Copies of this chain bind each other. A is one copy, B any other.
Amino acid sequence: MKNVFTFVHMFTLAEENYMKAIFHLEHESAGEVSTNAIAESMATKPSSVTDMIQKLAEKKLVVYKRYKGAKLTEKGKKIAANVIRKHRLWEVFLVEKLNFHWDEVHEIAEQLEHIQSEELITRLDKFLGSPDFDPHGDPIPDKHGVLKRTEKKLLSEIEKNQKGVCVGVRESSADFLQYLDKKKISIGTKITVLGKEFFDGSMIIQVGNQQFFISHKIAENLYVQTL
């Protein structure tokens, strides 16, 4: 049901990116998001951030009190979730249909997520079989912006002799993803913790019939579901 008379508010690329960044930061640690945190996550300057969140506040997309940081309104949250939905659906497309590797898709999806067309996303979603997760194991919000939360743990939180199946990555830099490839770890891979060093959090794990050492840095960037 396409309604030509419904004026669909458009947002600029910059506005969408700010809302998305705030959305992610709110999920990392509850409460208001600081100006500095936004600036860092967007590789921009705090003064630029102040400027933009003031504009977003005027448009009722965030609530903002001077020196207190910003928080998305319901409307802002919906818009951000929709941008993330688009990002992740396009990532699925790039991997599943165009055979890109999971470490190559993020930059392209950063551009594709801003394409404006409800209908396009509806059809893309259908074409892809309405996937629930993107190639990095991140959940895809539904068309109302609702994210189903799954109970997943960081591999670093798992105890010796426990097993888990890899369900996602916390970081998705190409470097990290390529490391995982080299170790034959991908979404769905079963991992057993054979040993854990208290001093530095490093582990010995079993993947398939290989056993090897991983640092804490690796373990705290891999999400697993315990079995």
Chain A positions near chain B (C-beta within 8 angstroms): 94, 97-100, 104, 107-108, 111-112, 115-117, 119-120, 123-124, 127
**With A98-B120, A100-B119, A108-B115 given, can you name 4 additional A-B contacts, CB distance below 8 Å?**
A98-B123, A98-B124, A104-B119, A108-B120
Query: What does DSSP make chain A's interface, helix, strand, loop or mixed?
Result: helix
Report the bound CA distance from A124 to B98 in whole Å: 7
Report the bound CA distance from A164 to B127 in whole Å: 36
**Chain B residues near A127 (CB-CB < 8 A):** 97-98
Chain copies in complex:
2
Task: Check if B115 sits within 8 Å of A100, measured CB to CB.
Answer: no
Report the bound CA distance from A97 to B128 in whole Å: 10
Report the bound CA distance from A98 to B124 in whole Å: 7
Task: Check if A115 sits within 8 Å of B112, measured CB to CB.
Answer: yes
The smallest beta-carbon distance between A208 and chain B, in angstroms, is: 30
The smallest beta-carbon distance between A18 and chain B, in angstroms, is: 19
**Chain B residues near A115 (CB-CB < 8 A):** 108, 111-112
Partner of A123, one of B100, B107, B119, B124: B100
Report the bound CA distance from A169 to B25 in whole Å: 49
**Chain B residues near A99 (CB-CB < 8 A):** 123
CB-CB nearest in chain B for A100? B123
The smallest beta-carbon distance between A120 and chain B, in angstroms, is: 6
CB-CB nearest in chain B for A120? B108
**Chain B residues near A104 (CB-CB < 8 A):** 119
Task: Check if B123 sits within 8 Å of A116, measured CB to CB.
Answer: no
